[in-house]
Structure 1
Amino acid sequence: MATDPKIRRDTTYDESKIQTLSALEHIRLRPGMYIGRLGDGRHVDDGIYVLLKEIVDNSIDEFIMGNGTRVSVSLRDKTVMVRDHGRGIPLGKLVECVSVINTGAKYNDEVFQFSVGLNGVGTKAVNALSSHFVVRAFRAGIFAEAVFERGILKSEKKGKADEADGTYIEFIPDHDIFSDYTFNPDYIVERMWNYAYLNTGLTMEFNGKSYRSAHGLLDLLEKEVGDDEMYKVIHYRGKQMEFAFTHTPGSYGETYFSYVNGQHTNDGGTHVAAFKEGLLKGINDHFKKNWSAQDVREGLIGAIAVKLQNPLFESQTKNKLGNTEIRTWIVQEVKEAVESFLLRNPDDASRINTKIIQNEKLRKELNEVKKTARDAARKVSLNIPKLKDCKYHLNQGSHPEQGEQSMIFLTEGDSASGTITKVRDVRTQAVFSLRGKVPNVCGKKKTEIYKNAELYNMMVALGIENDISGLRYGKVIIATDADNDGFHIRILLMTYFLTYFEDLVLSGRLFILETPLFRVRNKQKTIYCYTEVSRDEAMAQLRGAEVTRFKGLGEIDPSEFGQFIGEDMKLVPVSISSMNEAHKAVAFYMGGNTPERRDFIVENLI
């Protein structure tokens, strides 16, 4: 069998090769195991926000157990400060609680009943991954303080304090781990609102501004749907579960916001599956029908939060719940609550009935169009035209870590796709080439996808025809030229996803590829610039430099382009503050010509 000459083979494998790392060394060597992706702060799930979440979660646990009603978060440059008014960490165990793995009170059900952080790792990981970490606990007029650098204790002190009980923590994410990062305050505000929605009676503060919710998940959904609801939001709150849902007229698919003990479970889990099952049973039993799940839940937006003593997550980052024993009681409780609402609100029940009948009619119409489209596709080819696929895919095969790293570039024309295809990593990077501008689908039915080969092939390539659970790639990346035509195609693609597949956007899977606009170089050095300002700075730095303007991706030589889709790839996540605002924006910019849009263009025309 041939051996790859690039692989260095060391035949010496003995005791000298075995290493034992301390917990601190392991966290710093493998930070992704503890906080997920590292990132530079441009994505809402980047590690610096996970560090903040780990600290705030401890303060939320205090509130859940009835201690303190206010948590203050401050951000000054890159220093994060969190102060709660709970019981305060026991002074004699302060150092151990923030630096020794598997040390804490959250193993004791009498102290913390519904906690997210059950493994004693979170705060220790923050400490280990921070260049500066200070913890200060206040209890009964006495305080204790410990200062760390990269997890190593530097100083301690104790004394009297004229402050209320609680805990104060400040930290600076380590630049050695998180290179060139910047906090996005908008992401932190979104987290503050989530904490407020899930903990009625709690006041969250961020840089002096307060966030508070009186009605929990009801407030969350009303913010998301605005005036777009078809009937008043159905809201239920029990001892261990709270949920809310409604239908919206212009949405496709289903959208869910799910939480466990205050933790946002982006990928859902058993609690979401049970909620959907209970909702279907409740509606079918009330109307004495046997409607399909698709007809009942098409256009539905829901939120569910559960409290569990022993939550089992699929990873340290807690994105998906795995407890199977909760299914029975959640299904039954949701079913009974839905039936109770429908009995008490006959007008709203009638609107739900009408919505489901409409969904059923549209589904049958869509199935006819689907059949025609599939028959036409089979006649052309068994393969998806213009798709250069990769080896590994999301949630498929025996390499889940490779599947999560998979991505597909949606490119414009054969020139750009040819450049990317030549330098891509064939294991994890796929390319789908668009022939030109896709149709503007704003306000159009989903049947439009099946009438257009480009839209249909793109949907099939991504694997999202039925729902996002079939998505084949960890990232969907829009890669268009940096000119007016390229920007237009970018907006048309975003309209496509926000109109028909908004759950793809909400899950944080959609990105825009940034490639350099200019190359500034002389004989000694080359600098790639992404803005005109950085171009001017580079020209001032390099004597006798020549400047090249890259109009399109196809103009960048493949020998250069590889670095822009490698480890240093610059991706801008496509995120929305709420679905309601996203729908309004799409309708304003991509809908029919209106006086408001005309006035906007005139006022902002350069």
Structure 2
Amino acid sequence: MAEQHNYTEDSIKSLEPREHIRLRPGMYIGKLGDGSAPDDGIYVLVKEVIDNSIDEHMMGFGKSIEVSVKEDSVEIRDYGRGIPLGKVIDCVSKINTGAKYDSNAFQKSVGLNGVGTKAVNALSTYFRVSSVREGQKKTAEFEQGKLTSDHKVESSSEPNGTRVFFKPDGGIFKNFRFIPEYLENQIWNYAYLNAGLSINYNGKKYFSKNGLFDLLSRKTKDEERRYPIIHLKGHEIEIAMSHTSQYGEEYYSFVNGQYTTQGGTHQAALREAVVKTVREHFNKNFDATDIRASIEAAIAIRVQEPVFESQTKTKLGSIHTAPDGPTVRSFVNEFVKKELDDYLHKNPDTAQALLKRILQSERERKEIAGVKKLANERAKKANLHNKKLRDCRLHYNDKKGDQERLQNTTLFITEGDSASGSITKARDVQTQAVFSLRGKPLNTFSLTKKVVYENEEFNLLQHALNIEDGIEGLRYNRVVIATDADVDGMHIRLLMLTFFLQFFPDLVKQGHLYILETPLFRVRNKKKTFYCYSDEERQKAIKELGGKPEITRFKGLGEISPDEFGDFIGENIRLDPVILHEDTTIKELLSYYMGKNTQSRQQFIINNLRVEKDEVEQ
């Protein structure tokens, strides 16, 4: 019989805040991750420190911030007032210590919980803070949140401000790496929301004069727009919007300078307000999906005492803009109703272009209505015994549940039965699902969305993901293309990328699409085994093992046993995010790689052709 444990006073543990942060980091910074996703913990650490500098700027102190990110370290210097010297240690190490509890010192700031910098400190192997105020400087150093060096106050000729340097703890953020594009997007968002602020990131200056107008200008090129960007500014609210030629809806929403990646009450209010205003302006009861189809919009509002649905503040839950103020919904609705309607009256060319886009969406929707109905009936039947999908128990759109675990929900898109069999046996049935492709999917380049419904495989995939009407109901946070690293596997990868970019670009733009990295070699002797993802790693493993180790070259995922596969899709999973660079046009990209065999592509292949000898060593 199993030993019975007594539940006594000794069973109750009380942890120091530092210990609690290190034991339960997800409660403070969301998911940990390795840096392959834009909301991974290492980026939250950077954000928490910059937020303090931004709050100083918003209060009128400091017009520039310097950010330096190296391979495993971050340094941030602002030119605000500097932390009061006697409180430098408390401000970065004692929970619930900070000026933001004093509403007179900080109005409508980003960080209101007094946790941010303390969490960064506790989750860093090394953390140093320096504050300069009126010719005096105070520095303190920490390791894993513990004070290791308390420097005396010294005189300094540096300008006022705060400097923070930290190295994220590799024991907590395993195999982490900073992806420059994610940091750059983060920095740009700060610039857009703080017109006039200059941020120097790794030697490059980031500055915005026109706020959210600049954000949309950078995201989509003018030639892909149906009309010029509508830019509306009011007291505590700013909106920019346009319609593009792409499928889907795309929103960028912010509260008090915080990028709310999961939206919330303000984003929902914007979607509702645009539909209502457009219907009233044209005096036509358009279908809401036709008005919002292909929309690209950004909204930033400021509210007092915001309520977020998670510690990392990715979704606004506030109902009111202030304790005794209007609701967020009515505030956004009234602003859009007046300002957007006025704009459309004053700019009839834009109004006509907007109307034309809505009518086109309406026409397209009606054209595929019949085939869509049949396809959805087929998908509903297939869902009862969908042989292509081996589902998991938790889903990203579950309203309740462990948010950290929901962030790990993953759908692997595999080729063939052998690969999907290995992944299915090795996966975590709680959070990992598998969708098996049959052979090579169709090249969807230049086809209309009708093909998504006519092609049974694509229709079943969009139903598995739950993205038919947009990605708000997305069932898996990570959509991972898991194909072999051979020519056929690469081709299937390209075809799937084409499908998503063509019909669901917001899935890619919002950082949900990944490529699974799997090892190319296994190098082992009787004592040790190394899995190598490149030839460099293979050479390093051979050198470390010495002698003549056994080397296996994996040519397909089906060759890797389920026991081994568990290592590659578990804690040590390696994912390459699919990132669209700011100067990339989806139409141009797809026509180059997936269009007819153009001269420029032929030349590219000739110039970059490499022939590698296949090595088989035992």
The runs of at least 4 consecutive aligned structure 1 residues that moved more than 6 Å come to 378-381
1:341-394 C-alpha deviation (Å, 9 max, x unpaired): 101100111111111111111111121110232345567774323111222222
TM-score, normalised relative to structure 2: 0.93
Distance apart, 1:578 and its partner CA: 3.7
Corresponding position: 1:148 with 2:142: yes
Q: Quick check: 381-390 or 131-140, which moved more?
A: 381-390
CA contact (8 A) 1:135 1:169 kept: yes
Matching residue within 19, 25, 28 for 1:34:
28
1:91-128 C-alpha deviation (Å, 9 max, x unpaired): 22211111111111112222111211000000111111
CA contact (8 A) 1:78 1:173 kept: yes
Distance apart, 1:600 and its partner CA: 2.1
Q: What is the aligned partner in structure 1 of residue 616 from structure 2?
A: none
Q: What is the aligned partner in structure 2 of residue 203 from structure 1?
A: 198
Distance apart, 1:18 and its partner CA: 0.7
CA distance in 2, matches of 1:78, 1:55: 16
Q: What is the aligned partner in structure 1 of residue 361 from structure 2?
A: 359
Q: What is the aligned partner in structure 1 of residue 107 from structure 2?
A: 113
The one-letter code sitting in structure 1 at the alignment partner of 2:549 is A
Q: Quick check: 593-602 or 494-503, which moved more?
A: 593-602
Structure 1 pair 529–281 and aligned structure 2 pair: CA distance change class (3 A): same
Distance apart, 1:400 and its partner CA: 4.1
Q: What is the aligned partner in structure 1 of residue 238 from structure 2?
A: 242
Distance apart, 1:397 and its partner CA: 6.9
Number of aligned residue pairs: give it: 599
Q: What is the aligned partner in structure 1 of residue 530 from structure 2?
A: 527
CA distance in 2, matches of 1:545, 1:166: 56
Corresponding position: 1:439 with 2:442: yes
Corresponding position: 1:91 with 2:95: no
CA distance in 2, matches of 1:315, 1:382: 34
- Describe the SS at the equivalent of 2:154: strand
Q: What is the aligned partner in structure 2 of residue 341 from structure 1?
A: 343
Q: What is the aligned partner in structure 2 of residue 502 from structure 1?
A: 505
CA distance in 2, matches of 1:50, 1:224: 22
CA contact (8 A) 1:223 1:580 kept: no
CA distance in 2, matches of 1:63, 1:403: 35
- Describe the SS at the equivalent of 1:456: helix
1:189-238 C-alpha deviation (Å, 9 max, x unpaired): 22221111111000000122211011111111011111211110000111
CA contact (8 A) 1:389 1:429 kept: yes
Matching residue within 599, 604, 617 for 1:600:
604
CA distance in 1, matches of 2:456, 2:479: 19
Corresponding position: 1:139 with 2:133: yes
Q: What is the aligned partner in structure 2 of residue 395 from structure 1?
A: 397
The one-letter code sitting in structure 1 at the alignment partner of 2:199 is M
1:266-289 C-alpha deviation (Å, 9 max, x unpaired): 100000011111111221111111
Distance apart, 1:471 and its partner CA: 1.6
Structure 1 pair 273–378 and aligned structure 2 pair: CA distance change class (3 A): closer
Q: What is the aligned partner in structure 1 of residue 309 from structure 2?
A: 314
Q: Quick check: 235-244 or 40-49, which moved more?
A: 40-49
CA contact (8 A) 1:228 1:580 kept: no
Structure 1 pair 260–551 and aligned structure 2 pair: CA distance change class (3 A): same
CA distance in 2, matches of 1:584, 1:10: 67
Distance apart, 1:576 and its partner CA: 2.1
The one-letter code sitting in structure 2 at the alignment partner of 1:143 is K
Matching residue within 119, 122, 126 for 1:125:
119
The one-letter code sitting in structure 2 at the alignment partner of 1:94 is V
Distance apart, 1:339 and its partner CA: 0.4
Distance apart, 1:575 and its partner CA: 2.3
Uncovered stretches (5+) of structure 1, i.e. residues with no partner: none
Structure 1 pair 25–531 and aligned structure 2 pair: CA distance change class (3 A): same
Q: What is the aligned partner in structure 2 of residue 587 from structure 1?
A: 591
CA distance in 1, matches of 2:381, 2:74: 59
Corresponding position: 1:256 with 2:251: yes
Distance apart, 1:149 and its partner CA: 1.8
1:117-141 C-alpha deviation (Å, 9 max, x unpaired): 0000001111111122111111222
Corresponding position: 1:541 with 2:536: no
Matching residue within 213, 216, 225 for 1:221:
216
Identity across aligned pairs (percent)? 51
Structure 1 pair 116–377 and aligned structure 2 pair: CA distance change class (3 A): closer
TM-score, normalised relative to structure 1: 0.95
- Describe the SS at the equivalent of 1:485: helix
CA distance in 2, matches of 1:42, 1:582: 22
Q: What is the aligned partner in structure 1 of residue 387 from structure 2?
A: 385
1:236-268 C-alpha deviation (Å, 9 max, x unpaired): 11121111011112x111000111111111100
1:425-472 C-alpha deviation (Å, 9 max, x unpaired): 222221111001111112221111111111111111111111212222
Corresponding position: 1:464 with 2:458: no
CA distance in 2, matches of 1:379, 1:100: 57
- Describe the SS at the equivalent of 2:100: coil
Matching residue within 165, 169, 173 for 2:168:
173
Corresponding position: 1:573 with 2:568: no
The one-letter code sitting in structure 1 at the alignment partner of 2:490 is F
Q: What is the aligned partner in structure 1 of residue 73 from structure 2?
A: 79
CA contact (8 A) 1:483 1:552 kept: yes
CA contact (8 A) 2:379 2:463 kept: no
1:475-525 C-alpha deviation (Å, 9 max, x unpaired): 211111111111111111111111111222223222211111111122222
Distance apart, 1:409 and its partner CA: 1.2
CA distance in 1, matches of 2:385, 2:171: 45
CA contact (8 A) 2:465 2:475 kept: yes
CA contact (8 A) 2:84 2:131 kept: yes
Structure 1 pair 165–360 and aligned structure 2 pair: CA distance change class (3 A): same
CA distance in 1, matches of 2:3, 2:214: 60
The one-letter code sitting in structure 1 at the alignment partner of 2:224 is D
CA distance in 2, matches of 1:44, 1:292: 34
The one-letter code sitting in structure 2 at the alignment partner of 1:387 is L
CA-atom RMSD, angstroms? 1.8
CA contact (8 A) 1:265 1:320 kept: yes
Q: What is the aligned partner in structure 2 of residue 57 from structure 1?
A: 51
Corresponding position: 1:268 with 2:268: no
Corresponding position: 1:15 with 2:9: yes
- Describe the SS at the equivalent of 1:162: coil
CA contact (8 A) 1:265 1:319 kept: yes
